[in-house]
Amino acid sequence: MNSNIFSPLGCCDERLVTDFVDKRMTKKEATLYLRKIENCAKVKNCQRCKKLLDDFTILKEGCTSMKQPLVMPDTLEHKLLNRLHEALIQTKNK
């Protein structure tokens, strides 16, 4: 995200919101963006973007906390390795 493209975009633009929430902005860009939001709130009394950022950030944290420590069951791992070896033997026999 290049800071010089901030100006034509509204502060609630999805490109800015998602890049901020997903931490795709540099520190400098994020600071500039937050300043833009603050300014928008002061000048236009717009709270929408700030709320959107807060809610999406919380939502993302909620989703991330759902990530489960799932590992492939041993039985499946062995079964798959066996199937792969069988496939290899078949290939060799062709």
Which residues sit at the interface with other proteins, rule CB under 8 A?
Answer: 14-15, 17-19, 21-22, 24, 54-56, 58-68, 70-73, 76-77, 79-81, 83-84, 87-88, 91
Comparing CB distances to other proteins, the nearer of 38 and 77 is 77
Least distance to other proteins, CB of residue 13, Å: 9
- Asked if 30 and 20 count as a contact pair (C-beta separation under 8 A), the reply is yes
Alpha helices in the chain (DSSP H): 14-21, 27-44, 48-65, 74-93
Say whether 18 sits in a helix, a strand or coil: helix
Least distance to other proteins, CB of residue 40, Å: 18
Least distance to other proteins, CB of residue 66, Å: 6
Least distance to other proteins, CB of residue 94, Å: 12
CA dist 26 and 23 (Å) reads 8
Comparing CB distances to other proteins, the nearer of 35 and 83 is 83
Residue 32's Cβ-count burial label (10 Å; 0-12, 13-18, 19+) is: middle
